[in-house]
Amino acid sequence: MRWSTPVTAAVAALVVTASVAVTSPAYGRPTVPAAGSGHQLADRLERATRAAGALRHLRAWQSAADANGGTRAADTPGFAASADYLVRRLRLAGYRVTRQPVPYEYYRIDTERAVALTTPPEPLRLLAMTWSPTTPPGGVEAPVRVLPTSRDGVVDPTPGCEPADYAGLPVTGTVVVLPRASCGFVVQEQTAVALGAVAVLFYMPTVRPDNIYRAYLFDPAAISVPVATITQRAAGQLAARTAGSEVRVRLEITAHRARAVTENILAETAGGRPDRVVMAGAHLDSVTESPGINDNAAAAAALLETAIRLAPHQRAVRNKVRFAWWGAEELIEVGSLHYLAQLDAEQRRRISLYLNYELIASPNFGRFIVDGDDAEHPGVGEKPPPPGSGAVEKVLTGYYGSRGLAYETVDLYSIGSDHWPFADVGIPVGGMDGGTYQAKTAEQAARYGGTAGEMFDRCYHQPCDDLSNLNLAEFDRNCRAVAWVVGRFATDVEDVLAQRHDA
């Protein structure tokens, strides 16, 4: 799950308050829960699947992180241990499991450090952006320039996006510090460099000023100077210190390209029509800085528990169900992209739909369901969802609505995850996300409960994303939801196929 898509909310008071970067969200209206849905397998799986079972898997994956430096990132022993556990459980349940090797190239960071040359010198916590240019040998030393986010009491909604934002602020030969804004890292970096900046340090405006997030550069060739992130608190401290005198920083980033191999774990039912494959997936890896229990072990565990509960019925399902646990999603969908690249056109055509799940136990949760028909968010995303996605959305929203659970729909591209590659090749997609670093609005708190003004997940991509970082009641609700939706499509994809064929 990533935060590299443009921020659409203004940087007002340096707090992100938008709901998953979505305008005009469509809210579900809960109805009275039905006694039974009429989908027998789905109902049976819903009754059998609980957080209590899925928690066994989360404890195993927490142990894998604890024993391996606090992370389960791709190409680490923590990920390898997580994958081994997953495979054991699937095989015990009776599945034939595929461990698909996924070769990839990545940015291996050797050095990332910065220090404010005050008296005494103060280290700055720093995360180099993935694919950032490196510093010269010995690093860069230069004065700091912290870009103001307001002038004369007027908040700038897009700081650093235009040269005029730097009016009166000498930039030549400096390290610029500024918040991430809606125009994106590349535009902000290029604007600062055109004025003479030798490096750029970004911070993410959130309600948790001590959080820090590593960002990914999609177009490294567009960046010409070292770029990294620091905490919002550190940026504020630098702003205060530079108000009365010059402060210099020393910055050093060294890295190199490296090759590695991760893996996708795939398991499918023995029965079911092979020309009507229902896929459900979640990424297994964490970011390097976190054990990744809510992001995304929780969803991976819900899928595993669903697979275990489905196993006794796997020869009787009408449609083949294929579960996928992706490697290196945090390096931008490496695993799912590789999987699809290995399929020919006919193999892709046989996939009726793909379901994706992310952060399903966020402590201050929301319920964000992909807008599959583009009805609620027309023209917001990069392109419309593939035909058939509207029918997938209807099943997910119907489940939550029929059980009295509020939800809202979001644009397909507002949630960066493994459904993107499937949508890009025309496979109908759907899914659910529980919320990341955005702050819950008062309206959302009234609908879901929880705390307005606090992040959906305060530990998103942070070391504290561990077993204590779960809303267990919401985790239980979503485990059941995952199971029911998988069971429903295991027996009926006619509505999805009808939309797909009509198009």
Q: What is the DSSP string of 212-240?
A: ----B-S-GGG--S-EEE--HHHHHHHHH
Q: Pick the catalytic residue: 46, 112, 329, 376?
A: 329
Query: Is 329 known to be catalytic?
Result: yes
Rounded distance, CA 139 to CA 374, Å? Answer: 48
Q: The dihedral of CA 334, 338, 339, 341: what is its sign?
A: positive
Q: Are 439 and 21 in contact (CB under 8 A)?
A: no
State the residue for tokens 């970011």: 287
Q: Per DSSP, which regions of 341-483 are E strands?
A: 351-358, 368-370, 408-410, 429-433
Q: Structure tokens of 294?
A: 């809510």
Q: Which residues of 191-228 are buried (b: 16+ CB within 10 A; e: fewer)?
A: bbbebebbbbbbbbbbbbbebbbbbbbeebeebebbbb
Secondary structure of 356-388 in HEC code, one letter for each residue: EEECCCCCCCCCEEECCCCCCCCCCCCCCCCCC
Distances (CA, A) of 166 to 10, 151, 175, 191, 431: 18, 11, 13, 9, 42
Angle between helices 472-491 and 40-48 (to 10 degrees): 150
Is 502 exposed, middle or buried (CB count within 10 Å of its CB: 0-12, 13-18, 19+)? exposed
Distances (CA, A) of 147 to 151, 159, 174, 191, 302: 10, 8, 12, 12, 44
Secondary structure element (H or E) that encloses residue 268, with its range: strand 248-268
Q: How many CA atoms lie within 13 A of 380 on its CB side?
A: 26
Phi and psi of 89, rounded to 5°? -65, -40
Catalytic residue annotation: 329
